């Protein structure tokens, strides 16, 4: 989809939503809930990416999602580290 490619190119969700005349919240929910990490990696890396490049991008996306998840609960970051054995 064109909007997914635009978001993968680091366009703002609000800007992309305006460009395609859709609700910001719908665009955000779609990107977060319905576009897999693998698909986001493929959009970001492009069609010629190697498997190793895609795996690195997916790993970065996963870490970013973990970081975003801890923003709402400041205590969950250190707790997660303790549970992981760090």
How many angstroms separate the Cα of 69 from the Cα of each of 3, 5, 16, 39, 54?
24, 24, 24, 20, 23
70 is a domain residue: yes
Distance CA 8, CA 20 (A): 15
Per-residue pLDDT of the chain (86 residues; tens, 9 = 90+): 688 888 777 678 888 888 889 998 998 898 889 888 888 877 777 666 677 777 787 787 777 766 665 555 555 555 555 555 55
**Cβ distance 66 to 83 under 8 Å?**
no
- Domain containing residue 34: 2-74
33 is a domain residue: yes
84 is a domain residue: no
**Cβ distance 16 to 3 under 8 Å?**
yes
20 is a domain residue: yes
pLDDT of the residue at 74: 53
56 is a domain residue: yes
Does the pTM surpass 0.95? The reply is no
16 is a domain residue: yes
81 is a domain residue: no
> How many domains does the chain fold into?
1
55 is a domain residue: yes
């Amino acid at each position: 989809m064109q909007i997914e490619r635009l978001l993968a190119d680091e366009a703002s969700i609000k800007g992309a939503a305006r460009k395609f005349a859709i609700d910001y919240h719908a665009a955000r929910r779609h990107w977060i809930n319905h576009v897999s990490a693998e698909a986001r990696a493929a959009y970001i890396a492009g069609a010629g990416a190697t498997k190793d490049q895609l795996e690195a991008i997916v790993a970065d996306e996963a870490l970013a999602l973990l970081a975003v998840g801890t923003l709402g609960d400041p205590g969950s970051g250190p707790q997660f580290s303790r549970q992981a054995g760090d």
